[in-house]
Amino acid sequence: MINFWEKLPKPARPNGRSGRPFFCLAPMADVTDAAFRSIITKYGKPDVTWTEFVSADGLASEGREVLKNNLIFSKKEKPIVAQLFSSHPDKMRIASKYVASLGFDGIDINMGCPDKSVEKQGAGAAMMKDMKKAGEIIQAVKDGIKDANKKIPVSVKTRIGYNKNQIEEWVPFLLSCGIDALVIHARTRKEMSLVPADWKYVKRTVEIRNEMKLKTKIIGNGDVKDVKEGKRLAKEIGCDGIMIGRGIFGNPWLFSGKVPTVKEKLKVMVEHTKLFEKILGGHKNFAVMRKHYKAYVNGFDGAKELRVELMETKKASEVEALVKKFLKNH
């Protein structure tokens, strides 16, 4: 199998080479689920899609039956990367074997999530405090993929450090582990999303990669609002790809560049809701959709009132009825 990372668009370079970076959909818990990814794929497909993060420990246990719903995907979403987290190499190996067998194009390891429940397990951002364990986890993923008789690439998504910038030690270590791509969120764990992302650290990551004479793809992440800004940053910084997260909320057209009308946004919101109910209705609480309603419904006359009503809904038919009523009166 050809490494899909090698088939993606090549970015423009500061030296004048034309091109564009590839764009990735960031993994976001209870956001980039199968329903939302399906909508994004239809209206503005990115170059690479990520799943929500999934517990490898859960996938290696009887909990797999529930968690596998987070790994539903369609061929239209490909190339798609499954993101896993764990601090147990044995469980990560079992989970990676299972995930590789499902037909994913790659496996990404979450080494940057600041969620306290994830960190308590020694996973996510806590990995930055234990490089030895991080190396064991990367090797476990490779071993699991091999166990499944697959040849798919391994990537890591991380931050520039835990309490402070530790890029000079952390990045060379990760790159030396033989990963195919590295996503750098340009903040520390301590900073969360409370300060602006500092893209000079993405630039430094690219420099380290080049100094090590490696071909690992470097993907920048943090505060990118749209494709235009992503292209500008990639050209300035020299990274291969751009990952966008929060900018996709309420805007499945983000990667296409289209600016939707209010009517289009509301109709797609209803479509999204129906899809959520159909695919995930038996597995996820309908309340998950509320954060999407906040994003879809803002910036136009009557948005606040409609939003308040949407927060009370419990099923797709109620959402559809509210939207029909709103469009009829506006």
3-state secondary structure 35-65: HHHHHHHHHHCCCEEEEEEEEHHHHCCCCHH
End-to-end CA gap in the chain? 53
> Is the Cβ–Cβ distance between 56 and 97 less than 8 Å?
no
Place of tokens 């309340």: 287
Active-site residue flag, 177? no
How long is the chain? Answer: 330
For residue 24, give Cα distances in angstroms to 64, 67, 217, 254, 284: 26, 23, 12, 11, 25
CA 173 centroid distance within chain: 23
CA pair distance 192, 159, nearest whole angstrom: 10
CB-based contacts of 280, cutoff 8 Å, min separation 6: 33, 34, 35, 69, 288
Rounded-to-5 percentages of helix, strand, coil across the chain:
50, 15, 35
Copy the structure tokens of residue 13.
Answer: 């370079």
CB-based contacts of 149, cutoff 8 Å, min separation 6: none
Look up residue 186 and give its amino acid: A
- In the set 24, 113, 177, 239, the catalytic residue is 113
Q: Which residues are catalytic?
A: 113
